[in-house]
Amino acid sequence: MTLIKSISGIRGTIGGKVGDNLTPIDAVKFAAAYGTWIKQQRSKENYRVVVGRDARISGAMMQNLVMNTLVGLGIDVIDLGLSTTPTVEIAVPMEQSDGGIILTASHNPKQWNALKLLDAKGEFLNAEEGAKILNIAESDAMTFAEVDNLGEIHVNDAYIDIHIDEVLDLELVNVEAIKKADFKVVVDGVNSTGGIAIPLLLERLGVEAVKLYCEPNGHFPHNPEPLKEHLTDLSKEVVKAHADFGIAVDPDVDRLAFIDETGEMFGEEYTLVACADYVLSKTPGNTVSNMSSTRALSDITKKHGGTYKASAVGEVNVVNMMKQNNAVIGGEGNGGIIYPELHYGRDALVGVALFLSLLAEKKMSVSALRASYPDYYMSKKKIELTADLDVDALLTAMEAKYAEEKLTTIDGVKIDFENSWVHLRKSNTEPIIRIYTEAASQAEAHALADRVISEIKEIAGV
């Protein structure tokens, strides 16, 4: 089955059977459930939803289905067309809308698409709200508007430029210093909307941009997740072009990774570390990332006199904890930067601007910057178990086994050792336990993961 319904939206592969894949009927049903939920939030005369998409091949089809379903419910639509996830998030409150939908499957391959759902603040829905939409979809409790009350579609293609304006207006974005630094950067836009937004941002900052895969045609030239093994072309181009560094984003531009001037990966975990280092140096305060992110953020936060907190995995969980702890910056170790001064959502554009500001002020190379941070190495593995095994019981047994260590159990089990940690989480869709570890060397991280896998298998009797 390649249709996954969750509290954060619906995603799947295009085509196939209704209910098993993301077909037009599934898209319409879920959009109708979301629109019905929007109308249940408050009684008013007019409703409005912002809709945008990444450059996937199926994007235009999916967006038209979703928009016209909302129109059929009597909801007006602000059509951003080709956009980015953070751009839609910014547009929702600016348009005084009741919500937003982004048509994107984020880092998934081109055959995938999804509906990402936002509330009136332009933030992802919480678990309770998401569950209500799933219930509406299953109950078919949708009533459509009569002919005189249909909604309208209003096209607004200015929001990427507006988004860039908002980034450049931030106090900590040092536009003057960036322009003086005369940077040259290679951009891998994975043939999606990052190929539009990032070069436009760089142009406004006076940065020379060498474009690589920046044609927004949806034909991804490599696996679109911005990991080291997928960015070999970018690494080569950075060296060939004698660039200061390389930028890689995922298709909807909420994840950000850098390549240093030698063609080496800066480390997706260290995108947030570097941006936080800069922000904390100007505005001391607290930080938040999810439990599977590097310990380096905690180290940097403490260096600046702040407090670090770890949330459950998931952007909405990070955002909630950021609000609770008045965090000045936060995000996820996969290259997602959340800077509340702009908005509460992962945003590669603000990440690029903060990173460039840091480099311009420090006047150092990207490789030297990376060398200035604590060295940690991660291992990410999984155990595939038979469906009859009780995954929760296995995690409980591991919790008991390590009861003397520092434990966090808000999302699976995280065990913090003095110089390393391991995080065990179960998959929501299949009998899998994910094993994330971090240690002072790659060999130690892998060894810790392998040890824990052996212990779990021993408990499970497999």
- Determine how many CB atoms are found less than 10 A away from the CB of residue 43: 6
**Regarding predicted confidence, which is higher, 428 or 38?**
38
Q: What is the pLDDT of residues 217-260, one digit of tens each?
A: 999 999 999 989 999 999 999 999 999 999 999 999 999 999 99
Q: Do 83 and 188 share a structural domain?
A: no
Q: Of 5, 41, 47, nearest to 26 (Cα)?
A: 5
Q: Of 288, 332, 324, 333, nearest to 306 (Cα)?
A: 288
Question: What is residue 331's predicted lDDT score, i.e. its pLDDT?
Answer: 97
Distance CA 193, CA 215 (A): 8
Confidence of residue 391 (pLDDT cuts 50, 70, 90): confident
Q: Do 304 and 186 share a structural domain?
A: yes
Find the mean pLDDT for residues 29-58.
Answer: 96
Question: What is residue 257's predicted lDDT score, i.e. its pLDDT?
Answer: 97
Q: What is the pLDDT of residues 397-415, one digit of tens each?
A: 999 999 999 999 999 999 9
DSSP string across 32-49? HHHHHHHHHH---S-EEE
Confidence of residue 429 (pLDDT cuts 50, 70, 90): low
**Domain residues for 234?**
163-371
Q: Do 311 and 189 share a structural domain?
A: yes
Q: Do 417 and 340 share a structural domain?
A: no
Q: Could you tell me the CA-to-CA distances from 431 to 40, 286, 382, 384 in Å, in that order?
A: 36, 36, 10, 6
Of the chain, the percentage scoring pLDDT greater than 90 comes to 89
What 8-state DSSP symbol labels residue 18? B
Q: Do 58 and 178 share a structural domain?
A: no
Q: Do 144 and 86 share a structural domain?
A: yes
Amino acid 436 reads Y
Q: Do 311 and 244 share a structural domain?
A: yes
Q: Given 342, 371, 400, which residue is the final one in a domain? A: 371
Q: Of 381, 414, 124, nearest to 298 (Cα)?
A: 414
Q: Given 316, 339, 371, which residue is the final one in a domain? A: 371
* Cβ(126)–Cβ(9) below 8 Å: no
- The number of folded domains in the chain is 3
With a CB cutoff of 8 Å and minimum separation 6, the contacts of 374 are: 295, 296, 299, 300
- Determine how many CB atoms are found less than 10 A away from the CB of residue 39: 17
Mean per-residue pLDDT of the chain: 95
Of the chain, the percentage scoring pLDDT greater than 70 comes to 98
- Whether the predicted pLDDT of 394 surpasses 50: yes
Question: What is residue 276's predicted lDDT score, i.e. its pLDDT?
Answer: 98
Q: Given 126, 156, 186, which residue is the final one in a domain? A: 156
Q: What is the CATH number of the domain that holds 235?
A: 3.40.120.10
Question: What is residue 9's predicted lDDT score, i.e. its pLDDT?
Answer: 77
The β-bridge partners of 426 are 433
Look at residue 114 and give its three-state secondary structure. Answer: strand
Question: What is residue 4's predicted lDDT score, i.e. its pLDDT?
Answer: 79
pTM: 0.94
Q: Do 104 and 59 share a structural domain?
A: yes
Question: What is residue 334's predicted lDDT score, i.e. its pLDDT?
Answer: 87
Q: In what order do the strands lie in the sheet with 421-426?
A: 377-384, 432-439, 421-426, 413-416, 406-408
Q: Do 365 and 283 share a structural domain?
A: yes
Q: What is the CATH number of the domain that holds 440?
A: 3.30.310.50
Q: Beta 245-249 vs 256-259: how paired, if at all?
A: antiparallel
Q: Do 188 and 144 share a structural domain?
A: no
Question: What is residue 200's predicted lDDT score, i.e. its pLDDT?
Answer: 98
* Cβ(172)–Cβ(323) below 8 Å: no
Q: What is the pLDDT of residues 314-362, one digit of tens each?
A: 899 999 999 999 999 999 988 999 999 999 999 999 999 999 999 999 9
Question: What is residue 426's predicted lDDT score, i.e. its pLDDT?
Answer: 86
Q: Do 384 and 364 share a structural domain?
A: no
- Determine whether 106 is an active site residue: yes
Question: What is residue 1's predicted lDDT score, i.e. its pLDDT?
Answer: 47
- Whether the predicted pLDDT of 371 surpasses 90: yes
Q: Do 257 and 199 share a structural domain?
A: yes
Catalytic residue among 8, 83, 97, 106: 106
Q: What is the pLDDT of residues 123-179, one digit of tens each?
A: 999 889 999 999 999 997 899 999 999 999 999 999 999 999 999 999 999 999 999
